[in-house]
Chains A and B, each alone.
Chain A
Amino acid sequence: QKEVEQNSGPLSVPEGAIASLNCTYSDRVSQSFFWYRQYSGKSPELIMSIYSNGDKEDGRFTAQLNKASQYVSLLIRDSQPSDSATYLCAVNGNYGQNFVFGPGTRLSVLP
């Protein structure tokens, strides 16, 4: 069974700082990698996806993927209190099969 691990939280950063979230995965054949955000009492929502090695930027968010190290990360620049949530790393095999989530890292951005 594929495993996805994330850095244990909670992670607290001051407003305006960079938040760094990390994820490792066990299945080398994993194809696609995702970051979901989940506010307390709400359902997860997709914020970033990345498929090839390197960096992908979308606004204040940057996802980084290193398939050789089986590692994916999410950087949030200029963190805002509204970014306070649990961030879930998810990994996917071919054709949408075996879509597995990590345990999540809770982020608190302090005003």
Chain B
Amino acid sequence: EAGVAQSPRYKIIEKRQSVAFWCNPISGHATLYWYQQILGQGPKLLIQFQNNGVVDDSQLPKDRFSAERLKGVDSTLKIQPAKLEDSAVYLCASSSLAGGATGELFFGEGSRLTVL
């Protein structure tokens, strides 16, 4: 079974530029999460989708971050314009409907963003 795919793995940009990250969850997984993990900290939930609807985006900085999950499958997270404090690993995770309740999240390898 293929895991959660993310791209790009690494991205270096200048502040005020834009960047987009892509995630393809495990086939059949209804729930998709985007987390931001700053070095030395735990993952912080940015947005949670169930199918193509948003369940929770309360911690998404909506003035600069946006995310979409068209057709309830893959998802894109965009940052525009980027700030220095956005330097982090962006983790995508997915779960089945049952798995979301049981905590079984499957993570991709992450996309490491460096903002200069």
A residues contacting B by CB (< 8 A) are 1, 4, 6, 31-34, 42-46, 49, 88, 90, 92, 94-104
Chain A residues with CB under 8 A of B105: 44, 46, 99
A-contacting residues, B53-72, CB 8 Å: 55-56, 58-59
CB distance from B53 to the nearest CB of A (A): 12
Given contacts A1-B59, A96-B97, A98-B56, contact A46 B42 (CB under 8 A): no
Return 16 A-B CB contacts under 8 Å, by A number. Answer: A1-B59, A6-B42, A31-B101, A32-B101, A32-B103, A33-B103, A44-B105, A45-B107, A46-B105, A49-B103, A49-B104, A96-B95, A98-B56, A101-B35, A103-B41, A104-B41
Known: A46-B105, A101-B45. 13 other contacts (CB 8 A): A4-B42, A32-B101, A32-B103, A43-B110, A44-B107, A46-B103, A92-B103, A96-B95, A98-B56, A99-B105, A101-B44, A102-B42, A103-B41
Bound-state CA distance A32–B105 (Å) is 13
Question: What is the size category of the interface that chain B forms with chain A?
Answer: 20 to 34
Interface centre among B43, B56, B58, B99 (most CB of A within 10 A): B43
B33 within 8 A of A: yes
